[in-house]
Structure 1
């Protein structure tokens, strides 16, 4: 049975890339929103966004942060990382900038979103891995993620259990 995870990503920039990862089928992710549905959630303001995130994260064992060029600067990504960690869920990052978007373009690598957090004085970026999939092209990167994502999630869950 596939692990239930929460996918965290910058919707505007990386929705297409995130969809590719979600459709791999290696994990059971939170419900996918269309552009219109996400806009409806956003119209409800910060409280509605927070409620949606909290509801979607419920029952999930790990947050999978799909890291693109601007992910680290997004306030809701920061909220999702902090919530997942504080709720004792596994947390793992995967760079997706080399997957092609709907216009067949890759992006630049962004900053590590875990660098903004500390756990008892230890940078979260030294605890939570940010995987940078290898491959000569988008297909190769996709295959690398598909072949490893389940193991990365299991490792993240085990790592999280070591910290109180």
Structure 2
């Protein structure tokens, strides 16, 4: 297990925590729950605080929140099971300003009956915003859970020009 280098910064009213290993960013989350999520997603991995270690992430997330960036360019390291990483790759491919459903992702990973498994994988996505799970909604157009909370999911969707969804 590699050491995860952890950095913190604020954008707007959000307090972000970023974790990275040698080959890329492996975690982006919100300060309030970051310690618990890092322990859950990366059980037993050593953590080391390194202030300023994620300036590239801060710069790109700031541009995203300012509406001047639609696709992230920093390297990411997807750490999970084979199924999770397969789902996260499909979620990461959902274009800016669009949504898709859990059932559509299940079809794309050749597991049409595995909607719940897809939802669980999406819920364990360690790279909030970059692997854009906020763009995944229920088949009926309803918003479902989000690691950053439903208000953040709504704000991200609206930032991308998406306003047609149900609560």
More strand by proportion, 1 or 2?
2
More helix by proportion, 1 or 2?
1
Q: TM-score range with shorter-chain normalisation?
A: under 0.3
Q: What TM-score comes out, normalization by structure 1 length?
A: 0.27
Q: What TM-score comes out, normalization by structure 2 length?
A: 0.27
